[in-house]
Structure formats: structure tokens, C-alpha cells
Amino acid sequence: MKILAEGLGFPEGPVWLSDGSVLLVEISAGLLTRLRPDGTRQVVASPGASPNGAAIGPDGACYICNSGGFEWLKHADGSVRPGPQPADYSGGRIERVDLATGELTVLYRNSDKAPLKGPNDLVFDSEGGFWFTDSGKRRSREQDFGAVCYARIDGSECREMIHPLMTPNGIGLSPDGSVLYVAETPTCRLWSFDIARPGQLAGTPRSPAPHGGRLLAGLPGYQFFDSLAVEAGGNICVATLLNGGITVLSPDGELVEHVPLPDPYTTNLCFGGAEMRTAWVTLGTTGRLVEMPWPRPGLRLHASS
């Protein structure tokens, strides 16, 4: 493991770019940051609030899930982690950042069903649309149900597709695009949903779950799922909180391995490199981005740059 950056503000949403640099969001600092191969650090944009996930769209821009802010809870060692909805909560939204100029545009604040509460992570499909999770927000005595939405980059469509979920977080597509994976944080469950075509769920018989998804895996003990990435062979790699590291699950939900990392709040990962066998992982409470070889190639994303 190689440490590429330290002192980041609870990093998340890493995106490998073809020039060798890595984009990520700093949730507690409200920044979109680019780390170049020579070690220099550039603030690309300052969305404010809590940019929580990032992905490159088919137009080369960076699309951000902004969850509207958190109350930050301090650990005894001085590190922080996100908590409930803050007093200055600014509302959830999907944002677009022009990487050349840093210009930021708010694309969506609402789906067709409700205001966005806490957009968390997103993934683009082969047609240039994107699926994203809305985790909702937690308050002192109540919590929102979460949802999954499908949206277009031109601002014309943002449809709520899956509801209700308990704090949906990581989201990804199978290599052939026929299955959508969604990780719930507090339940530590990974769900799958069949896709008929881009932007449309298949009309398969519903499961007993209220949202109709198939339960692939649910881990025992007190641990949480965060964001995820998919390998080229189909395994789903889920960043795991408290039991800090990456949990690798097969498409059938079997545990392949757990890769431990030195931060209980291992938040996300992405794959890249010439053979897609390098992983970049964000470590939240220690504020680091690390690089490590991966034993299997990762899936090349549809709208990568």
C-alpha cells in the first residue's frame, strides 16, 4: 500500500483518470480535489455542504452527489465522522463540474417523486444516463427512507426507481449492465435488481422485500457497508466501515475475501491503470488516499476519462 495523500477532509468518491491523476471529494471540506501523478494537489471546485460521490459523465464533466451537509462528530483522537443533518443543511442535489473551468451547475434538487435529501453515490450506464442513491438524512428522533433514482445529464429526467431503502449508499452495475447493485449502510446488506434496458428495471417477480430487490449478502456483527466498485469478472467490492477494509463478494453473494485496511472508515475505492489492476482507496477518518495492487482487474467504467 502506498500513501498518495494525507490531510484530506474525509475523502470519498475516488475516480481514476487516464492521465494518471485521481479525482476525489473531500466531504468535510466541501471540495472536489484532483491529485496528480507528481503529487501536486488541485482544488477543482468548491461545491460546499457535503459532496459525497463523484463520476465522470459521457461529456467529460464530473457529476457529484451532494448530500447537503452533515453534523461532524469528533473522535477522541481528533478525527471526525459524518453524523446527523446539520442546522445549516442546504438540501440534497446532483451537481455538474466542468473539469476545465471548475464551473459548477446544480442539475437536480428533486426527483419526480420528492426532494432529494442526501444523494450519496452514482454510476453511469452504457447509454450515458446514471443511477444514484439517495441515503436520506438522519435527525435526532427521525430518519428518512432512502431511494435509488435514474437521471439524464441534460437535466430532463430524474426518476425515483427504488423505494424504500435503509440508507442506500454504494451503487454499481454488473459487467454486462443487466444487474444493479445497491449497498445499504446500517443493515450491511447488498441488494441486486435486474435491469431490462438502460434506465428501466426488469418486471421480474417481486421479492418479499418492500422494494422488490434480491438480497445477495448481509454481513454479521456490527459493521456497515459504504460505497462499492465492481471487478471485470463480476465480483462486487464494498468498502466496509468499522471492520475497516474492502469486502469482496461474488455475484452470487458469497464472501470471496476481506481486505483489511488501516482505517475503520474505509469509504470507497476505484480501479484503474493500464490493466485495471490498481485500486485507489479513500480512508475517511485518517484523511488519506492510498494506492494498492489488486489481484483481479477492475471493471472499466462506461464514462471514464
- Secondary structure, 3-state, 207-261: CCCCCCCEEEEECCCCCEEEEEEEECCCCEEEEEECCCEEEEECCCCCEEEEEEC
Which CATH number is correct for 14-225, 2.120.10.30, 2.40.240.20, 3.40.50.10710, 3.20.20.60? 2.120.10.30
**Which contacts (CB < 8 Å, 24+ apart) does range 3-7 have?**
3/288, 3/289, 3/290, 4/35, 4/39, 4/280, 4/288, 4/289, 4/290, 4/291, 5/35, 5/41, 5/288, 5/289, 6/286, 6/287, 6/288, 7/287
Residue 225 has pLDDT above 80, yes or no: yes
3-state secondary structure the chain: CEEEECCCCCEEEEEECCCCCEEEEECCCCEEEEECCCCCEEEEECCCCCEEEEEECCCCCEEEEECCCCCEEECCCCCEEECCCCCCCCCCEEEEECCCCCCEEEEECECCCCECCCEEEEEECCCCCEEEEECCCECCCCECCEEEEEECCCCCCEEEEEEEECCEEEEEECCCCCEEEEEECCCCEEEEEEEEECCEECCCCCCCCCCCCEEEEECCCCCEEEEEEEECCCCEEEEEECCCEEEEECCCCCEEEEEECCCCEEEEEEEECCCCCEEEEEECCCCEEEEEECCCCECCCCCCC
What pTM did the predictor assign?
A: 0.97
What is the band of 302 on the pLDDT scale with cuts at 50, 70, 90? Answer: confident
In order of 46, 100, 191, 222, the CA distances from 198 in angstroms are: 31, 29, 18, 35
Percent of the chain with pLDDT over 70: 98
Residues 6 or more apart whose CB falls under 8 angstroms from that of 270 comprise: 14, 15, 16, 22, 229, 279, 280, 298
Mean per-residue pLDDT, 268-294: 97
> What average pLDDT is seen over the chain?
96
Q: Tell me which residue of 129, 118, 102 sits closest to 42, measured CA to CA.
A: 102
Q: Supply the pLDDT for residue 304.
A: 62
Q: How confident is the model at residue 305 (pLDDT cuts 50, 70, 90)?
A: low
- What does the pLDDT look like over 94-121, one tens digit per residue? 999 999 999 999 999 999 999 999 999 9
Which band of pLDDT confidence, cut at 50, 70 and 90, is reported for residue 203? confident
State residue 77's pLDDT score: 82
Distance, in Å, from the CA atom of 111 to the CA atom of 169, rounded to the nearest integer, reads: 17
Domain spans of the chain, in order of start: 14-225
Cβ neighbors of 200 (< 8 A, separation 6 or more) are none
Which amino acid is present at 47? Answer: P
CA–CA separation, 8 vs 29, rounded Å?
8
**pLDDT of residue 271 exceeding 80:** yes
pLDDT at 207: 85
Residue 23 confidence class, pLDDT cut points 50, 70, 90: very high
